[in-house]
Amino acid sequence: MHMEQKADCSPTRTEMKVRMKDLSLLLLMCAAVSNALPVHPEKDNKEDDSKLVQDYLNKFYAVEPDPDQLGWKINAESTAEKLQKMQQFFGLKVTGKPDTETLEMMKKPRCGVPDVGLYGVTLPGWKKKNLTYRIVNYTPDMSKEDVDKAIQKAFKVWSTVTPLVFTRIHEGIADIMIAFGTKVHGRCPRYFDGPLGVLAHAFPPGNGFGGDVHFDEDEDWTTGSAGFNLFLVAAHEFGHALGLSHSNDQRALMFPNYAYISPSEFPLSPDDISGIQSIYGSPPNAPGKRPANPTPPKTCGSQVSFDAVTTLRREIIFLKGR
């Protein structure tokens, strides 16, 4: 009697190797995915916030004006002390801790000049009234004509309220050299950080980099409200190039954080004007600068007569028709 043999469904040795290889590959993939995902997202967020705080304070609150040199020097304040100074400057609750409000303020696009000194401690200004400027290169975001107009208009903001005169030159070394660059650019001791963050920086009046203004080419420069308005940022940076520090008045052009306003509006606040005029004075023939000559009083004339004259409490009284 013929018996059918049962089919042998057990895997062969080769099949076992293939399955083990597939299993090993699957385990490796699972391990890679698990490693890619943060195990403690809150811990990672805290580390990011800590880095943001340290970078921000190192850029804007780790230096102070150096009275012996035209520039800055490192101060020795603790992180909590620098945070308190930053919070006080921006009108935040002074806690010395990186709370949510403080972190949000640190994330806003701004100028790269440190937040030290107010208008009471202005930097030395230029010792002359006629200043030259040169546009070294251009951003591809705007036409050259639009860049030229934005720069010229930004200088006019300051010449309107001072006796300063700005003249453009096309070659050679100008008092104020204007350039666009990214990250580490040229020999500049300061650097940019990519999109957002620091938009531009400037140097106070002086030799070398003194008066120079640099714009971050990684930003989107425009003539309107989209991206960053070149005219507004340039007007702010030119304030530094003329010797102004940052203002803690949020209405001031010299407030460190970027805020868009219509270019048709005059961007200077009373705080900006008093600051720049404390260095350079008012423009010539400014309205109200010289009082008008007083109008002489009308005389009585030789035909006037009185019926009587008397005195009362040391006053002379003239009587007529009584």
pTM score over 0.75? no
Task: Show pLDDT as tens, one digit a residue, over the chain (322 residues).
Answer: 443 333 344 445 444 444 544 545 455 554 554 454 454 556 667 888 999 999 999 899 986 555 444 444 555 678 999 999 999 999 999 999 999 999 999 999 999 999 975 444 456 799 999 999 999 999 999 999 999 999 999 999 999 999 999 999 999 999 999 999 999 999 999 999 999 999 999 999 999 999 999 999 999 999 999 999 999 999 999 999 999 999 999 999 999 999 999 978 999 999 999 999 999 999 997 665 454 455 554 545 545 555 555 554 444 555 555 4
Q: Is residue 111 annotated as involved in ligand binding?
A: yes
HSE (CB half, 13 Å, CA atoms) of 250? 7
Terminal C-alpha separation, the chain: 166
Sign of CA dihedral 146, 151, 154, 160: negative
pLDDT at 9: 41
pLDDT at 37: 47
Closest CA to 204 of 86, 72, 109: 72
Listed in order, the ranges of the chain carrying CATH 3.40.390.10 are 119-280
Yes or no: say if 307 and 320 are a contact pair by the CB < 8 Å rule: yes
Listed in order, the ranges of the chain carrying CATH 1.10.101.10 are 43-107
Q: Is residue 214 annotated as involved in ligand binding?
A: yes
CATH number, domain 43-107? 1.10.101.10
Q: How far is CA 268 from the centre of its chain?
A: 14
pLDDT at 78: 87
Q: Is residue 240 annotated as involved in ligand binding?
A: yes
pLDDT at 182: 96
CATH number, domain 119-280? 3.40.390.10
Yes or no: say if 202 and 233 are a contact pair by the CB < 8 Å rule: no
Q: Is residue 66 annotated as involved in ligand binding?
A: no
Catalytic pick among 4, 77, 237, 265: 237
pLDDT at 47: 84
145 belongs to the catalytic site: no
Residue 279 phi/psi, 5-degree rounding, is -95, -45
